[in-house]
Amino acid sequence: MRQSDIVVEDLVKRYGRRVAVRGVSFTIGEGEIIGLLGPNGSGKSTILRILTGYLPASAGSVRIGGIEVAEASLAARKLVGYLAEDAPLYDGMRVGEFLRFMAELKGAFGGAGRRAVRAACERLRLEPVLGMPIGKLSRGYRQRVAIAQALLLEPPILLLDEPTNALDAYQVIGIRELIRSLAGTRIVLVASHVLTEIEKVATRVMILREGALLTADAMAEAAHSSRIRLGIGGPGEAVLGVLREVSGVVRAEIEPGTPARGSDLHRYLVEGATDGLAEKLSNAIIGHGFALAELTEEKPDLESIFLALTRRADPALAA
Amino acid sequence: MRTFLALLKKEELALFTSPIAYVVVALFLIVMGYTFTLSLFLSHINDFVHMFFQIYALFLLTVPIITMRLVAEERRLRTLETLLTAPVTEAAVVLAKFLASMSLLVVMLVLSGAYPLTLTVFGSPDWGPIYSGYIGLLLLGAALVAIGLMTSSLVANQLIAALLSLSLFLLLWIIDHFGWLLPDPFDAFVVNLSLLVHFTPFATGNIFLSDAGYFISLALLGLFLSLRALAWR
């Protein structure tokens, strides 16, 4: 086991009767930038807090670098740099003072602490605000200070909870570049509900919904599935029935706004497995005597995978 | 140890850069100075027993103000998450907060040392009861701060934490009055929960291990419950 590996098995977290995390399992290896994507309240922050040892798990196990977090939380925390959601910081402290304090908590005193603070400040370009009280910083600087404290002493694992929350476009780009630059030998786990942010930085995307992990690799899911747009003449419901019968089809629907007035040409969107789906569909349509006017195959993006998975998990959404 | 010192320094800075500390110390000195001047120059009382009871009452009123923000504020601002995801133990956090608050009480007691020193100008005070009184106040302070820390750990609202502490202190102050109403053996048990019953011997120059044990037990219980409350997330 490498020092920076994260292994989560059957993780469950309950708050009273409410289940926040339901049997989540995943493994993360060195050098990965993982995006943990899910709507608000899906359990992303709870999982991150359990990884840091801040929250105890109700069941299951979490190992960081081979250390069981529940048994040796202190040792595990030494491997982790954590940015909590909304960057909770001590407003009364000055930036330099806060970073030195955090460096000391992480075991860097005197010269080592000063060097760690200097390195983090250079990386986040915090020199202009080192002497300022945190409470007087802009939202962007505040977020950068919170990231700087997570980066102190270059931990092998970085857990970032909504790192671009409430930042302007330039700041978002800056944070995104920073996250990319942090990869290499460490694990970066970014939790966010902003799909585009995750898509731009992550090498692997995990999708959560209502505490359950829908996929541990949405990109792989995307590679193994396809989206096909079809233009077919004939009665909509009958054609839809035929399309849904084809093996490998996960979802088929009539695109809104069709058919055009005076025409029976409907447009359909079909999602399903990659292997030969287009051919199977065209055979089925022609076989049933419908007129196939158009067939376009496209690779699904993260958004469509996210929607497909969440719809599959929640029939109410699909309806 | 160095990590603990970093925590302690942070707590001391938070306490001594807040106006609350200075307001509390100033009020304490004004009330004490007024009473001392009144008793020495108008009533010509050359002992310190009544001063100790006054400090006792002032501690009961001011400790909730000193301790109310300790954990409640960290909970409200969620800085507890930043603190406790760093490699520090909850025990170190609790102890640092406790000692920082105690240091303010020590400052108040040291400043109040000016009054017994003033007595030496006008006469020869009996130093035994003065020493025992200060030991009693230190022990009382430790117990009150630990209870205040506990209530602050239970809630995220400073005001509620302060009111909760104050209610507990007042209950422990007057609980012996209820004790006398109870049948044996409950009367002795309840009477012995009283802060005043255990503080009075110290103020009058008597040190009993049972009284010291009471305050130390109360302080340890408060610290233990604070630790449990902090771990409960």
Give the sheet arrangement for strand A67-68, strand by strand: A18-28, A6-15, A59-64, A67-68
Q: Calculate how close chain A gets to B69, using CA atoms only, in Å.
A: 13
Mutate to test the interface with B, among A105, A151, A165 (most CBs of B within 10 A): A105
CB burial of residue A83 (10 Å; 0-12, 13-18, 19+): buried
Interface contact flag, B79 A88, Cβ < 8 Å = yes
Distances (CA, A) of B119 to B47, B53, B130: 8, 17, 11
Residue A170 lies in a domain: yes
A65 & A203 share domain: yes
Q: In the numeric block, which tokens belong to residue B118?
A: 């003033």
Note whether B84 contacts A: Cβ–Cβ < 8 A.
yes
A10 & A159 share domain: yes
A238 & A187 share domain: no
| Chain A residues with beta carbon closer than 8 angstroms to that of B17 | 92
pLDDT tens for each residue of A265-287:
888 988 887 678 888 888 899 99
Interface contact flag, B85 A149, Cβ < 8 Å = no
pLDDT tens for each residue of B83-130:
999 999 999 999 999 999 999 999 999 999 988 888 888 777 788 889
- pLDDT in the model for residue A274: 67
Cβ(A77)–Cβ(A107) below 8 Å: no
Cβ(A221)–Cβ(A49) below 8 Å: no
Total residue length of chain B:
233
Note whether B79 contacts A: Cβ–Cβ < 8 A.
yes
- pLDDT in the model for residue B84: 93
Q: What is the mean pLDDT of residues B203-209?
A: 90
Interface contact flag, B6 A52, Cβ < 8 Å = no
- pLDDT in the model for residue A125: 87
pLDDT tens for each residue of B15-26:
998 899 999 999
Lowest-pLDDT range of A141-145, A256-260, B122-126, B215-219: A256-260
Interface contact flag, B78 A86, Cβ < 8 Å = yes
Interface contact flag, A82 B85, Cβ < 8 Å = yes
Q: Which residue from A282, A279, A234 is spatially nearest to A258, judged by alpha carbons?
A: A234
How far is the C-alpha of B74 from the C-alpha of B64, rounded, in Å?
Answer: 16
Cβ(A58)–Cβ(A13) below 8 Å: yes
How far is the C-alpha of A83 from the C-alpha of B81, rounded, in Å?
Answer: 10
Position A312 pLDDT exceeds 80? no
Q: Calculate how close chain B gets to A87, using CA atoms only, in Å.
A: 8
| Chain B residues with beta carbon closer than 8 angstroms to that of A89 | 79, 82
- pLDDT in the model for residue A4: 53
- pLDDT in the model for residue A1: 47
Interface contact flag, A89 B82, Cβ < 8 Å = yes
A60 & A187 share domain: yes
Position A16 pLDDT exceeds 90? no
Give the sheet arrangement for strand A225-233, strand by strand: A249-254, A265-273, A225-233, A291-298
Distances (CA, A) of B187 to A93, B177, B181, B191: 50, 10, 7, 6
Closest residue of chain A to B84, computed from CA coordinates: A54
**Largest Cα–Cα separation, chain A:** 81
Single-letter code of the amino acid located at A64: I
Q: Which residue from B146, B147, B209, B199 is spatially nearest to B173, judged by alpha carbons?
A: B199
Q: Which residue from A53, A41, A24, A31 is spatially nearest to A85, judged by alpha carbons?
A: A41
How far is the C-alpha of B172 from the C-alpha of B221, rounded, in Å?
Answer: 14
A60 & A75 share domain: yes
- Residue A105 has its nearest CB partner, among B6, B18, B81, at B6
Distances (CA, A) of B47 to A103, A229, B51, B58, B137: 51, 97, 8, 19, 16
Mutate to test the interface with A, among B81, B89, B93, B232 (most CBs of A within 10 A): B81
Position B218 pLDDT exceeds 90? yes
Structural domain count, chain A: 2
Could you list the residue range(s) of the whole structural domain that residue A195 is in? 6-221
Last residue of a domain, one of A221, A239, A268: A221
- Residue A105 has its nearest CB partner, among B3, B18, B79, at B3
Residue A99 lies in a domain: yes
Q: Give the pLDDT band (50/70/90) at residue B37.
A: confident
3-state secondary structure of A69: coil
- Residue B88 has its nearest CB partner, among A56, A75, A105, at A105
- pLDDT in the model for residue A315: 56
A163 & A292 share domain: no
Last residue of a domain, one of A199, A221, A243: A221
Interface contact flag, A84 B17, Cβ < 8 Å = no
Q: Which residue from A265, A264, A240 is spatially nearest to A254, judged by alpha carbons?
A: A240
Cβ(B152)–Cβ(B67) below 8 Å: yes
**pLDDT > 70: percent of chain A:** 94
Q: Hey, which of A153-157, A295-299, B182-186, B220-224 has the most confident mean pLDDT? A: B220-224
Interface contact flag, A84 B6, Cβ < 8 Å = no
How far is the C-alpha of B53 from the C-alpha of B48, rounded, in Å?
Answer: 9
Q: What is the mean pLDDT of residues A94-107?
A: 94
- Which residues are CB-contacts of B148 (< 8 A; sequence separation ≥ 6)? B63, B64, B66, B67, B68, B70, B101, B161, B165, B222
Q: What is the mean pLDDT of residues B156-170?
A: 94
Q: What is the mean pLDDT of residues B192-215?
A: 92
pLDDT tens for each residue of A210-245:
899 988 888 777 777 788 889 998 888 889 899 988
Interface contact flag, B87 A91, Cβ < 8 Å = no
pLDDT tens for each residue of A26-83:
999 888 899 999 888 889 999 999 999 999 999 999 999 889 999 999 999 999 999 9
Interface contact flag, B86 A84, Cβ < 8 Å = no
Distances (CA, A) of A143 to A33, A174, A178: 19, 11, 12
Interface contact flag, A52 B14, Cβ < 8 Å = no
Q: What is the mean pLDDT of residues B46-75?
A: 91
A204 & A192 share domain: yes
A14 & A140 share domain: yes
A162 & A229 share domain: no
A78 & A161 share domain: yes
| Chain B residues with beta carbon closer than 8 angstroms to that of A105 | 3, 6-7, 83, 86-88
A181 & A283 share domain: no
Q: Calculate how close chain A gets to B218, using CA atoms only, in Å.
A: 28
List the beta strands (DSSP E) in chain A.
6-15, 18-28, 33-37, 59-64, 67-68, 80-83, 157-161, 187-192, 204-209, 212-215, 225-233, 249-254, 265-273, 291-298
| Chain A residues with beta carbon closer than 8 angstroms to that of B1 | none
Cα angle A57-A58-A64, degrees, rounded to a multiple of 5 = 25
Closest residue of chain A to B92, computed from CA coordinates: A105
Cβ(B100)–Cβ(B11) below 8 Å: yes
A197 & A95 share domain: yes
| Chain A residues with beta carbon closer than 8 angstroms to that of B20 | none
- pLDDT in the model for residue A169: 85
Position B66 pLDDT exceeds 60? yes
Last residue of a domain, one of A221, A252, A267: A221
Residue A1 lies in a domain: no
Single-letter code of the amino acid located at B199: F
Average pLDDT in chain A: 87
Domain boundaries, chain B: 2-231
pLDDT tens for each residue of B169-197:
999 998 888 877 888 888 888 888 999 99
Position A18 pLDDT exceeds 80? yes
**Torsions phi, psi of A161, nearest 5?**
-100, 115
